[in-house]
Structure 1
Amino acid sequence: MQITIEIPDDFAQRLDQTAGNLSQRLLELMVADAYSQGKINTAEVRQILQLPTRLSVHSFLKQMNIYLNYDETELKQDIQTLNQVREK
């Protein structure tokens, strides 16, 4: 989907000078907001922003001052995975 946003030229120029690619920056802000609201997960963040690794997603979220959504269910899954690796 493509969305067009009208922004005053002088404001857009200032944003583009400080934020690099304005389109990419707006996408990053939207993705970060969606993640912080629980609407998307880290895999979707990685896919949307085309980040190379899970750790790059964690780094991106840290730069955006957003904590990882890590709940008890994920902890249990990680413990189960760790136990399976240890058994091998």
Structure 2
Amino acid sequence: MEVTIELPDEIADQIRNASGDVARRVLEAFAIDSYRSGKLTGWQVRQVLRLQTRFDLDALLKRAGVFREYTAEELERDYEASRQASAEHLRACP
């Protein structure tokens, strides 16, 4: 799908001067806002913006001050992995 928006020339010039590609900046803003509001998943944002890796997505979200969705299950899994790693480290280093 192709979407066209109209901006006053002076605003488009400000965006272009500050950050280059106006279309890319608008698309990023749309994708970030849609992610923030739960309308798009991280995977969908990567598709929209053609980001290669999850690290690219995380960097974009960090620059925008948006934190990725983190479920209770992910937290529990990370906690358990950390606990096991700590226990293994303590056994290996008496």
Normalising by the residue count of structure 1, what TM-score does the alignment of the two structures yield? 0.79
> Which residue in 1 is equivalent to 2:47?
47
Amino acid at match of 2:64: M
Q: How does 1:21-60 map to 2 (within 5 A)?
A: 21-60=21-60
Give the 5 Å matches for 1:1-88: 1-75=1-75
Shift of 1:75: 3.7
SS of residue in 1 equivalent to 2:38: coil
Distance 1:65 1:47 in 2: 20
Distance 1:6 1:53 in 2: 31
Rg: which structure is higher?
A: 2
Letter in 2 for 1:18: A
- Supply the distance in 1 between the matched residues of 2:33 and 2:27 (Cα, whole angstroms): 10
- For residues 57 and 43 of structure 2, the distance between their equivalents in structure 1, rounded to whole angstroms, comes to 8
Q: How many percent identity over aligned positions?
A: 35
RMSD: 2.2
**Which ranges in structure 1 are unaligned for 5 or more consecutive residues?**
81-88
The number of equivalent residue pairs is 82
Q: Quote the Cα distance in structure 2 between the aligned partners of 1:4 and 1:11.
A: 16
Per the alignment, in what secondary structure is the counterpart of residue 6 of structure 2?
Answer: coil
